[in-house]
Amino acid sequence: MQIEHFQINHLVKGEDLNHHGTLFAGRGAEWFVEAGFIAAANYLPAKYILCMKIHGMAFKRPVRPGEVICLDSALVWTGKSRLIAHVRGAVKGAEAIEGFMTFVYVDDEGKTRPHGLQFDAVSPEESALQVEAQNLRY
């Protein structure tokens, strides 16, 4: 199946700021995981998806109060029970945050189980993301 992208937006408000007056990394991480989770939950029941690891979430620029950050997420690689999402966040088209996260698909007892998904890259950028995701260690 082809890689599909999902988007969410967040308005940065006073309660989202750190002591420097920019987006607090913890809030950014919360939104980052939410975006990746939404990508996974579009294919699998949400109650069986667990976030296992955030890989290299990096801020590329400060995000200031009143700005709207648009987070674009996609599942870019799958293993037997693992799903790796790539998330890129931008403010007015300028990249602000980027990275990967690993989710696992589990059963009612919390044990990993196969999900049966496989995604095919259709562009050089998607191919590069798949290679990068496949080389991540958890």
How does pLDDT run across 36-75, given as a tens digit for each residue?
Answer: 999 999 999 999 999 999 998 999 999 999 999 999 999 9
Mapping DSSP onto H, E and C, the string for 53-102 reads EEEEEEECCCCCCCCEEEEEEEEEEECCCEEEEEEEEEECCEEEEEEEEE
Q: What is the pTM of this model?
A: 0.94
Read off the pLDDT of each residue in 7-22 and give the average, rounded to a whole number.
98
User: Cα–Cα distance between 2 and 58 in angstroms, integer?
Assistant: 26
The whole-number pLDDT of residue 123 equals: 95
User: Cα–Cα distance between 132 and 125 in angstroms, integer?
Assistant: 11
Residues 79-100 pLDDT 10s: 999 999 999 999 999 999 999 9
Read off the tokens for 55.
């890989």
What the chain holds in terms of domains, given with CATH numbers, is 6-134 (3.10.129.10)
Question: What does the mean pLDDT of the chain come to?
Answer: 97
